[in-house]
């Protein structure tokens, strides 16, 4: 079992500190992208590489798609019965080919947020590789020069 991204003080700190400096992170094809990347220090880059998986989870938690699904869950909407094969049983979004059943990554994050439970880094395996890249996440693949 991987570690809880929300309980990783270094990952939480770097995401918050960058946001305070006006640097916004996003996840693309398994890489972290940053606005104003030229303002990242060597220490910032090293920290992002070291804690990449946890940072990716934190960035995805803040994504509008996670927030929308959390709001739907809190309003009592969601959960398709029965779910079509190859689609999320909560929102109906197509699942990655390697997963014929279950929740999409966005719905999994929303469910964990609603439940108040830990959010392990391995939740990234629930996302399409087009978003999070091949698994497991490795420190390579920082695309910090590309604006988000």
Specify the pLDDT at position 25.
93
Residue 15 lies in a domain: yes
Tell me: pLDDT of 1 over 50.
no
Residue 70 lies in a domain: yes
* Number of residues written out for the chain: 148
Residue 97 lies in a domain: yes
Q: Where are the alpha helices (DSSP H) in the chain?
A: 9-20, 42-50, 52-61, 64-74, 105-115, 129-132
Residue 86 lies in a domain: yes
Residue 101 lies in a domain: yes
Tell me: pLDDT of 9 over 80.
yes
Could you give the maximum distance between any two Cα atoms of the chain, in Å?
50
Residue 140 lies in a domain: no
What's the CA gap between 3 and 95, in Å, rounded?
24
pLDDT tens digits for 37-65?
Answer: 899 999 999 999 999 999 999 999 999 99
CB-based contact 123:12 (threshold 8 Å): no
Q: How confident is the model at residue 140 (pLDDT cuts 50, 70, 90)?
A: low
Residue 146 lies in a domain: no
Contacts of the segment 31-34: beta carbons below 8 A, 24+ positions apart: 31/133, 31/141, 31/142, 31/143, 32/56, 32/59, 32/141, 32/142, 32/143, 32/144, 33/143, 33/144, 33/146, 33/147, 33/148, 34/144, 34/147, 34/148
What's the CA gap between 34 and 65, in Å, rounded?
19
Could you tell me the pTM of the whole model? 0.86
Give strand pairing partners of 127. none
Domain count, the chain: 1
pLDDT tens digits for 15-44?
Answer: 999 999 999 999 988 888 898 889 999 999
Q: Is 108 helix (H, G, I), strand (E, B) or coil?
A: helix
Residue 148 lies in a domain: no
> In degrees rounded to 5, what are phi and psi of residue 108?
-65, -40
The C-alpha angle 11, 29, 64, rounded to 5 degrees, equals 65
Tell me: pLDDT of 135 over 90.
no
Structural domain boundaries, residue 34: 5-132
């Amino acid at each position: 079992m991987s570690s809880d991204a929300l309980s990783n003080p270094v990952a939480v700190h770097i995401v918050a500190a960058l946001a305070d400096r006006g640097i916004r992170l996003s996840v693309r094809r398994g890489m972290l992208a940053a606005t104003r990347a030229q303002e990242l220090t060597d220490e910032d880059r090293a920290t992002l590489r070291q804690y990449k998986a946890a940072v990716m989870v934190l960035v995805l938690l803040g994504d509008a798609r996670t927030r929308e699904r959390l709001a739907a869950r809190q309003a009592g909407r969601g959960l398709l019965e029965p779910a079509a094969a190859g689609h999320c049983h909560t929102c109906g979004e197509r699942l990655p080919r390697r997963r014929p059943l279950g929740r999409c990554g966005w719905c999994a994050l929303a469910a964990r947020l609603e439940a108040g439970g830990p959010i392990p880094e391995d939740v990234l395996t629930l996302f399409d590789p087009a978003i999070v890249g091949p698994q497991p996440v490795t420190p390579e693949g920082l695309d910090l020069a590309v604006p988000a």
